[in-house]
Amino acid sequence: MNKEKLIKFKYNFDKISSNHAKDWQLALFWIVLFELFSSIFEYEFVNKSHEYIDFIPNGFYKEILIAGLVLPFIWLCVYNLVYMNKTNLIYLALYGTVGLYLIITEDVTFNLLLHNLNPFELNIGGTIYFTVQLFFKLIIAYLIYKLVVAFRHKNL
């Protein structure tokens, strides 16, 4: 990649991720989104991650919880189709990702997600898992930096 393409890529990435460190909510959205995907990836490829999850047994209360989560998601989808607001689309993506996390991991207590928040914990090894997790952690660290810069700009 030549230098101009790299500069253009960084400019576009900064605009999408935090609006050039001006929008802390957008940076926080991307941090949460990458953390959810990182936790899902860890759940699928690391057997030790299953220790952090408290499974809810199948039954009436689980069905009520699922219905209570699906109903607002459908309402938000319909609302977004009617009004087509960019902010609502971001909330819809976040809500959908949390739903995907809950469906795949069945971790209603979010223990795995909280365990995965530590940016310095990596399973060292030459596997593809380590490479992907390192990629996620580097992006999240950069987004945390942009979040701090955005807070500074907001308070000035």
Query: What pLDDT does 156 receive?
Result: 61
Is the pLDDT assigned to residue 54 strictly greater than 70?
yes
For residue 143, being part of any structural domain is answered with yes
DSSP state of 52: G
Q: Tens of pLDDT along 82-134?
A: 887 777 777 788 888 888 888 888 887 888 888 777 766 766 666 788 888 88
For residue 5, being part of any structural domain is answered with no
Q: Which domain holds residue 47?
A: 21-155
**pTM for the whole structure:** 0.78
For residue 47, being part of any structural domain is answered with yes
DSSP state of 156: -
For residue 4, being part of any structural domain is answered with no
What does the alpha-carbon distance between residue 52 and residue 139 come to, in Å, rounded to a whole number?
24
What does the alpha-carbon distance between residue 33 and residue 26 come to, in Å, rounded to a whole number?
11
Counting the structural domains of the chain, the total is: 1
What does the alpha-carbon distance between residue 151 and residue 145 come to, in Å, rounded to a whole number?
10
For residue 7, being part of any structural domain is answered with no
Going by pLDDT thresholds of 50, 70 and 90, the confidence category of residue 74 is confident
Q: Where are the alpha helices (H) located in the chain, listed in sequence order?
A: 3-18, 24-45, 60-83, 86-105, 111-116, 128-155
Is the pLDDT assigned to residue 33 strictly greater than 80?
yes
For residue 12, being part of any structural domain is answered with no
Neighbours of 38 (CB within 10 A): 21
Mean pLDDT check: name the lowest of 39-53, 64-78, 117-131.
117-131
DSSP state of 69: H
The mean per-residue pLDDT over the stretch 16-38 comes to 85
Query: What pLDDT does 32 receive?
Result: 87
Helix (H, G, I), strand (E, B) or coil at 33: helix
- Compute φ and ψ for 18, nearest 5 degrees: -150, 15
DSSP state of 119: T
